[in-house]
Structure 1
Amino acid sequence: MTIERLQHRLEHSLSQLFPKETTYSKFAQPVRLTKTLQLLERKFDDLENAIPIDVKIFKTISKLEYSGFEQFTRRDWKNLAWALSKMLPDTQEKLIFNDIGKRIVQHFNQAEESIINLVYYPLLYSYFALAKEDVVEKPTVWLTLRDILNRHKLNVYKSTQRPKQWMTTLIDHADILSDTPTKAFVKQFLQDNETGGIQNELETLRIAPNSWFWDDLIKSSIQSIRHMNEKDYFKFIARFITLSAQNSLYSRDILAALLERYAKTSERDKVHETLKQMALDQWGNPQYDSSAGWNNVNPDTKRMVVQWFVKADLEAFFKLFSRTADVNRFNYWIKFIDKINFSQIFLGPSALNSQQAQHKKFREMNRGRLKELIGSTQTNNAFLLKIDNVYVVDFADTGNACYAYNKLPYNDKKERIFIGDLKNKDTVLFRNGWGEPTALSHSGDWESRFDEKLAEIGLFSRKPSNNNDSSKYKRSH
């Protein structure tokens, strides 16, 4: 006698002795007994739905090939259902995808309710046990199996006097056997620190760790980024960053989705240091066309990240490394940020060898992006900005002029750059009143003079300078 039937007889006997509405008022509820009963039920279910050993499954397959579906026992039917996610000896694919498996699925597709009720759980297990690479193309036989499960789940639930927990889970989560099986779990998944919360909730379904279901859950979560409102997006950024670190296979898609959504927020001009560093680590410097990883996002998003690097470079140059730098130069050059598509920092000995924590951190985070400036003072640093198609070079120490070129004035393959390469008056674009090549000094009202000379070579800023708002050389494009 099963525990189910035993409990049913006990409840029936009690109902004969006491009216239903007064039973629980006359007796204290047997809490310990109830817990024991639940434990026994769980153990009984585990035994009932225990996966048979492969030898028995393969024996049933041999029986099928020899005599067809005739004279199958209850255990044989279950073995067939368990077998669908297995790989037979000397084969290279799961049983469900070969001719025998397709034949089994088609037989169950036309089977009577009594057979389906018997094999439903093994069929459900096989459905979830397939890996993501097995179902990436949504094979027809897999969709047929899903249709069988979806079509019969309500009848299986109703036909049981005391529905099992896994049956209740299927009824409560109707989408789990649909084209969007994980849609309802996305928000919960993002709010959990890890997949454990959902795994606990779906424990009774015994979804395998390598199941396509978890892959679908992560991909659905990534897709949800693009449609999140701004508040939710900023709330879940940290969760996705953690998810990327834990699941390297999805790091590219996560980074692309996060950056694309960030570019559409009201804070796109604000540097997100973690995303910036993730992007540099995964795809390299966006300022180089050779960094092919940046093809994963659209040009506007790439432009946003380039501006993050430019802004970070200028801030580091003027506010972090160069104590002797004129901060007015930062305010001047930052107004061109929407036109700057490349930046390069050249560090002198003091900045390059500094042991200050912030200096060390910046050098570490930008390893491979920095060059060494040689032939100058200990404290001097330099930077290069490509504004539209013009390369502008400026320096940290006062007394150094500004230069502009129509191509890189140094060999980019070299890590150590001589200051003379950055101060080449033979190829500089600026001209004095006599038409001779010249550099621009930072003396007097230099901002207005810079605006004038930059305008002569076709450079205009969209943003006004903090110190020279009335310059006639500013114009909008």
Structure 2
Amino acid sequence: MLIHSAIESLRQRLKQSASSIDFGEGWFGQPQLVERAAQASEKLFQGYAKAKPSAEDAYAAVLAFARGQQVSELQRHMIASAITVPLRELAHSRLLGLPRFAQLIASYQSQANKGNLWQLTWYGLMGSYFAFDPVGAKAEDLAGWDQLRDLLNQTWPLIDRQAGDALCPDWLSLMREERQLLGPRPADKYGRDWLDGKTEATEKLRVDLDIPPASWFWHELVAGAVRASTAASDEVFISAIPKLLDLIAERPVCRDDALEAILGRYHLSRGAPVHEGLRDYVVQKEVWRNPKLRDAGYATAWNRVPDEVWLMVLGWVNERNLRDFFDILAARNKADEGRLEFWSKYMKQITWTRLIFSRDTMALARQKPEVRALIAREEGAYATLTVNKDVDAFMMRIGRFIIVEFSKKPNACYIYDVDDMKFDRNSRQYTGGTDDLKYGYYDSDAASIRHLPHWQINGAKTLARLGILPDASIKDTLKGPAQDMRRAAPTPLRRDEVATTRVTTTVAGSWPSPGLTQAPAISATAVPSALALTSDDRESVSATWSMAPRGAKFRMAGLQYMVGQFKEARIIDGRKADGSGRVWVANPQRGRDLDHWLESNGFDWSERSSMWFFPE
């Protein structure tokens, strides 16, 4: 009875299929009618070749298997198309992340080896492969997805041979041409064209392989576009940056890998001028945050790039802070008087900046979008004034001096030696009076610049007496920000030693995307050498001093920079050529930010010595 019922069901379906074919009107046997019928038949065949079980049946089969129940061969076929579906009853776990998934994979492999794996089952497995959404995926899900890709790679030759040269589904013909889709860099082939708006090839993939919008494939397409762009000439690469940033924002799984490659490549471009779009995107709170927060442990993504790349962006941020202070804050009180132009002459020597907002400015943020945006950009880095409610302040470091400017006349500009300052430049709050930022008003040891008529001439003389000259006067030796950090820095690459950089995969969701590789610069340009050692430096600085301790996550330049921000803190490098000894940090004032940074970067506290040390 059951057999008769199945045969009758099949007969009815064949009848419906035949009746759905449009033979058209006219005498039977006419060529155009035969061709039309053939096309309709092929369309019908392609539809059956991509047939999937109902979502409800597939879900039920997956849930049963996940719960340890025995499943039939038909249910195992259904499971193939729903491997990546979250299971509500199991806390939204996915089958490919559960322990039993390995058993399922082994059964499919066994069937394929015996020649019993259905073509439609393989198509279902491929559908699950492309349906995987890496956003928020667990490590177990990612491992399972790798197993699924390995299975498809191993069984594809069997499925391909089984199909032969006869009429085959569109998806199978496409896979014969696009085997890289199962490889480590599945989307590189389309990256450049997709970036240029040529989407015909990817659209064909989307339709024939039924790739959903949330698939990992689109994130990989972004990575492929980044790889293609970073391998191009300076002109082509830089022109592609706005589009790349839009794509990364839309598909953020490979964001950190992509940004590391883009920033590194841009650093190698000729001159590497300020790129406002790249700067504004990467410093967002939701992205990498302000680079000034790196060594405080609040923006650790900046540890992904070399110090010279970090310093490049830090210089961009410092320059914008200076311009914002005078264009937005000081301009409100008509107090610029050429100060932006004056300090711009020393821009390349500014290694650190900090904005200090008054209560009026914080309140004004509710009304003025530009003020609100400025405060948002400096979140985590700015300070506030508690007494002077309508005066903002700006701190910057040039060499060994901290310079404090104010947004309103008649306040003078004060210049303090960083080693003798009487206030903590990392404090969250200041009064803004003579007890902190303006103590130089009564201190004869502090230099000042008073904004009287022709103040620029006297200001330049005051700075020159302190050894601070305009950038143009020292252009042969000054290559970028952080000149005062040079003694702690590694030797830069020579022109002929521009290396490729492997990007590690530590992105949101831990997506196992293949590494994005920085291509060597196409233009014959030297690597910017803000951290270069001079020949005299190389004689006086040991090789061990330029290297971080074994196992350290920080770089010595970063450690030097962080320690240099705290009064009386210093590095004691006790390492010797034979490998003995340790790196110590003395922090007599026990500044909380420095202690936190040291501890978070692996340093231990020695009660006996009352110092921090890095255990090797």
The answer to whether TM tops 0.5 is: yes
CA distance in 2, matches of 1:104, 1:263: 50
The aligned residue for residue 306 of structure 1 is 314
Q: Write the letter of the residue equivalent to 2:192.
A: K
The aligned residue for residue 145 of structure 1 is 151
In 2 relative to 1, CA 340–45 (structure 1 residues): closer, same or farther, beyond 3 Å?
A: same
Does structure 1 residue 186 correspond to structure 2 residue 217?
no
Does structure 1 residue 418 correspond to structure 2 residue 433?
yes
Contact 1:374–1:418 at 8 Å: present in 2 too? Answer: no
In 2 relative to 1, CA 272–266 (structure 1 residues): closer, same or farther, beyond 3 Å?
A: farther
Does structure 1 residue 121 correspond to structure 2 residue 128?
no
SS at 2:238 equivalent: helix
The aligned residue for residue 299 of structure 2 is 292
The aligned residue for residue 364 of structure 1 is 373
Q: Which has the larger radius of gyration?
A: 1
Shift of 1:361: 1.0
Higher share in helix: 1
CA distance in 1, matches of 2:449, 2:82: 79
Contact 1:354–1:360 at 8 Å: present in 2 too? Answer: no
SS at 1:306 equivalent: helix
Shift of 1:304: 2.1
Shift of 1:277: 5.2
Question: Greater RCO between the two (CA within 8 Å, min separation 6)?
Answer: 2
Identity within the alignment, %: 18
SS at 1:425 equivalent: helix
Q: Superposition pairs for residues 252-291 of structure 1, below 5 Å?
A: 252-266=256-270, 268-273=272-277, 275-276=279-280, 278-282=282-286, 283-288=288-293, 289-290=295-296, 291=298
CA distance in 1, matches of 2:86, 2:446: 76
The aligned residue for residue 246 of structure 2 is 242
The aligned residue for residue 413 of structure 2 is 402
CA distance in 1, matches of 2:58, 2:144: 28
Q: Write the letter of the residue equivalent to 1:422.
A: L
In 2 relative to 1, CA 105–84 (structure 1 residues): closer, same or farther, beyond 3 Å?
A: farther
Does structure 1 residue 111 correspond to structure 2 residue 141?
no
SS at 1:168 equivalent: helix
SS at 2:292 equivalent: coil
Q: Write the letter of the residue equivalent to 2:182.
A: L
Structure 2 residue corresponding to 1:163, chosen from 158, 165, 168? 168
Contact 1:340–1:385 at 8 Å: present in 2 too? Answer: yes
Q: Write the letter of the residue equivalent to 1:182.
A: A
> What is the RMSD computed on CA atoms of the aligned residues?
5.0
Q: Write the letter of the residue equivalent to 1:388.
A: G
Deviations 1:260-306 (A, max 9, x none): 33333346332415632541423443224313332233222222222
CA distance in 1, matches of 2:358, 2:84: 63
CA distance in 1, matches of 2:249, 2:102: 41
The aligned residue for residue 392 of structure 1 is 403
In 2 relative to 1, CA 321–142 (structure 1 residues): closer, same or farther, beyond 3 Å?
A: closer
SS at 1:184 equivalent: helix
In 2 relative to 1, CA 256–279 (structure 1 residues): closer, same or farther, beyond 3 Å?
A: farther
CA distance in 2, matches of 1:375, 1:49: 71
SS at 1:341 equivalent: strand
Deviations 1:110-151 (A, max 9, x none): 223x75657542343354455655574588854542333432
Q: Write the letter of the residue equivalent to 1:204.
A: D
Contact 1:81–1:122 at 8 Å: present in 2 too? Answer: yes
Contact 1:182–1:216 at 8 Å: present in 2 too? Answer: yes
Unaligned runs of 5+ in 2: 1-10, 24-28, 475-529, 535-616
CA distance in 2, matches of 1:352, 1:60: 58
Unaligned runs of 5+ in 1: 12-16, 18-25, 67-71, 466-475
The aligned residue for residue 449 of structure 2 is 440
Q: Write the letter of the residue equivalent to 1:108.
A: Q
Question: Under a length normalisation based on structure 1, what TM-score does the superposition of the two structures give?
Answer: 0.69
Does structure 1 residue 315 correspond to structure 2 residue 336?
no
CA distance in 2, matches of 1:80, 1:182: 27
The aligned residue for residue 339 of structure 1 is 349
Deviations 1:18-65 (A, max 9, x none): xxxxxxxx9668897676545534443344777764556899999x97
CA distance in 1, matches of 2:195, 2:352: 36
CA distance in 1, matches of 2:464, 2:250: 50
SS at 1:422 equivalent: coil
CA distance in 2, matches of 1:360, 1:54: 50
Shift of 1:311: 1.6
CA distance in 1, matches of 2:218, 2:453: 65
Deviates more, 1:203-212 or 1:101-110: 203-212
CA distance in 2, matches of 1:122, 1:110: 18
CA distance in 2, matches of 1:216, 1:244: 10
In 2 relative to 1, CA 128–334 (structure 1 residues): closer, same or farther, beyond 3 Å?
A: same
